[in-house]
Amino acid sequence: MSIDRPMELLSLFFGNVIIIYMVVVILSYTVMLTIAFLHIRKDYQLDKDGIDEGNLNAALMKPVTIIVPAYNEEAGVLDTIHSLLSLRFPQTEIIIVNDGSTDDTQQKLISEFHMNRVEKVVRKEIPTEPIRHIYQSNVNQNLWLIEKENGGKADALNAGINLARYPYFCSIDGDSILNEKSLLRVMNPIVSSNDEVIAVGGNVRIANGHHVKLGSVFEANLSKNHLVVMQVIEYLRAFMMGRISLSKFNLVLIISGAFSVFSKKWVVEVGGYSKHTMGEDMELVVKLHRLLKEKKLKKQIQFVPDPVCWTEAPQSYAVLRRQRRRWHQGLVESLWKHKKMTFNPKYGAIGMISFPYFWLVECLGPLIELGGYVYIIIAFFFGGMYYEFAILLTLLFILYGAVFSTASVLLDAWSKDIYPRTSDVVHLIFMSLTEVFWFRPLTLLWRLEGFFHFLLRRKEWGNMQRAGFTKKGSSL
C-alpha cells in the first residue's frame, strides 16, 4: 500500500513529535523517580516514633479542626469518624458537614454519637449555602455536625471552615479513614518550619479489600477487582514518585482533598474553596501559590508520603469514568483560569516549571498519547519504515507505563510494607506490565472526555457509589 508524498511527510512529522514528547516525559519521570528514591532513603533513616512522641506535646503541636464533608456517605462515614476519634493528637475538633444528604447519613451520625441540636453563632467569613442546624455530640464535646442545604463539596468545606475555631484545618473525605499517627505526621512540616509551611498533603491509599473495624485497618489485603488493583498502582506512581519530587522544590499544584491540612488564615484570604470548578482541591492550592507569589512571601506547600489516609476507590468502569473525567476537567479549569502564571517569571518556579509541566504532561498528555496509540495501529498497516516508528513508540509506551509503575510498586514495598505478602507485590508488578495495553488507553479516553467537557462548559459531577469498607470477619 502506498500513500502520496505530503501524507508521508505529515505522518513522519507526527510520529517524530510523539516520539520527542515521550522521550521528554520519560526523562522527566526518571528525574522524579531518582529524587523520590533519594528522599525516601533519607526519610527511612529517621526516628519517626521519636518525632511523633515529641509532637504529642500539646505545648508544641498546634490544634487542628478536622472537616468531613459528607453527601450520601452512609456506607462508610461511621468508620471515618471512629478513625478520627482514635487519632493520637493533642487537640482536635471534628466538624462533619452534611451537605443535604438524601440518605441516612445524618441519622446514623446522630444515633451513633448521641448528638443534640444546639444554638451556635457561626462567623461567616466565606459565603455558603444556608445552615439549617448545628448538632453537638454528648459522647465527645469536640464532635460537631452541621446540617446545611446542598451546595457541593467545596461549599460544605467552606461551611466547616466558618465554624472551625482552630488556626489549622484538615480536610478528609467522608469515605476515608486515617491511621492513628497520620495527623501527627502530616502536621510535622508545619510545626518544624515555624509556620513557613502553610499547607501539607498526605499520602492516600486505596482501602478496597482491607478489613476495617471501628475506623482501623486490621488487615491489608489486595483487592481482587482488577480495576481497583490498577488504581492502587496509579496512586503509588502519583504519590510515591510525582508528588514527592515536586514537593522537594515547592512545586506541588495538587494535594489530595481526601487528606490535606491548611492554614485557615491563608485559605480565608483567598476566598476558601471555589464552588465553580470541578477540582476544588487543586484550585485552592493554585490560588494559594498565586497569592504568595504576588505578595512575595516565602511560604511553602508540601507533600508528606508517610502519613496514610485510606479511601474507597471506584469498582466499576462507569463510576471510574465519571471520576477521571471530573478530575481532568477540574485540572484544565484551574490551569486555564490561572493561565497568566504559565512561563511568567513573576511566579518563580511555579510559573516557569510547574505550570508548563502540568500543561504539557497532565493536561495535553491524553491527546498526544492517544494520538500515539492511533499512530501505532495505523503505522502497522503501511509497512516499511512505519513499522520502525510503531515499534519504537510501543517500546516508549511500555517504558513510560510499565517500568515506572513497577518501580513505584517496588519503592513502596521497600519503604512502607503496606502489603506484607510477596504474592501481593508480585501481583501488582504483573498488573503494572499490562497497564499500557488496556487500562492506560481507557483512562486517556476518559481524561480526554473531561477536556472536551471543559471546552463545552459542561458541569456533570456524577455520583460516586459507595460500597463501604470490608468489615473484619465479613465475607464481602
Q: What is the DSSP string of 117-179?
A: EE------SS--SPEEEEEEESS-TTEEEEEE----HHHHHHHHHHH--SSEEEEE-TTEEE-
How many beta carbons lie within 10 A of that of residue 423, not counting itself? 9
Domain boundaries, the chain: 63-316
Which pLDDT score, from 0 to 100, does residue 151 have? 95
Going by pLDDT thresholds of 50, 70 and 90, the confidence category of residue 47 is: low
Q: What is the mean pLDDT of residues 331-350?
A: 97
SS3 of 217-238 = EEECCCCCCHHHHHHHHHHHHH
Judge contact between 87 and 117, C-beta under 8 A. Answer: no
Judge contact between 176 and 309, C-beta under 8 A. Answer: yes
Which pLDDT score, from 0 to 100, does residue 383 have? 63
- Whether 465 shows a pLDDT value over 70: the answer reads no
Task: Specify the DSSP class assigned to residue 263.
Answer: E
Which pLDDT score, from 0 to 100, does residue 466 have? 58
Q: What is the pLDDT of residues 384-416, one digit of tens each?
A: 557 777 888 888 888 888 889 999 998 888 776
Q: What is the mean pLDDT of residues 36-52?
A: 78
Judge contact between 64 and 97, C-beta under 8 A. Answer: no
- Whether 26 shows a pLDDT value over 50: the answer reads yes
Which range, of 66-70, 112-116, 374-378, 454-458, averages the lowest pLDDT?
374-378
Q: Is the dihedral of CA 443, 444, 449, 452 positive or negative?
A: positive
Which pLDDT score, from 0 to 100, does residue 395 have? 87
Which pLDDT score, from 0 to 100, does residue 11 have? 76
Q: What is the pLDDT of residues 179-192, one digit of tens each?
A: 889 999 999 999 98
| Lookup result for grid cell 479513614 | 177
Instruction: List strand residue ranges (DSSP E) for 176-319, in order.
Output: 176-178, 197-206, 211-213, 216-219, 259-263, 300-311
Q: What is the mean pLDDT of residues 52-72?
A: 84
∠222-223-224 over CA atoms, to 5°? Answer: 120
Q: Which residue has the higher pLDDT, 247 or 394?
A: 247
- Whether 121 shows a pLDDT value over 70: the answer reads yes
- Whether 53 shows a pLDDT value over 80: the answer reads no
**Any idea which architecture 63-316 has in CATH?**
Alpha-Beta Complex (3.90)
Which pLDDT score, from 0 to 100, does residue 198 have? 97
Q: Which residue has the higher pLDDT, 49 or 235?
A: 235
Q: What is the pLDDT of residues 409-438, one digit of tens each?
A: 988 887 766 666 788 889 999 999 999 899
Give the three cell numbers for residue 376. Answer: 501505532
State what percent of residues in the chain have pLDDT above 90. Answer: 64
Ranked by mean pLDDT, the top range of 127-141, 198-212, 293-307, 418-432 is: 127-141
∠469-466-203 over CA atoms, to 5°? Answer: 65
Which range, of 138-147, 172-181, 346-355, 358-367, averages the lowest pLDDT?
172-181
Q: What is the mean pLDDT of residues 251-267?
A: 95
Whole-angstrom Cα distance, residue 211 to residue 430?
A: 24
State what percent of residues in the chain have pLDDT above 70. Answer: 90
Give the three cell numbers for residue 171. Answer: 480536610
Going by pLDDT thresholds of 50, 70 and 90, the confidence category of residue 212 is: confident
Q: Which residue has the higher pLDDT, 411 or 251?
A: 251
φ, ψ dihedrals at 187, nearest 5°: -85, -15
Which range, of 174-178, 234-238, 325-329, 397-401, averages the lowest pLDDT?
397-401
Going by pLDDT thresholds of 50, 70 and 90, the confidence category of residue 469 is: low
Q: What is the mean pLDDT of residues 310-335?
A: 94
Which pLDDT score, from 0 to 100, does residue 474 have? 40
User: Which residues have CB under 8 Å from 72's CB, separation 6+?
Assistant: 101, 102, 103, 105, 463, 466
Identify the bridge partners of residue 300 per DSSP, sorted by sequence position: 197
Task: Give the closest residue to 350 by CA, choosing from 63, 358, 385.
Answer: 358
Q: Which residue has the higher pLDDT, 310 or 50?
A: 310
φ, ψ dihedrals at 220, nearest 5°: -90, 115
Q: What is the CA radius of gyration of the chain?
A: 23
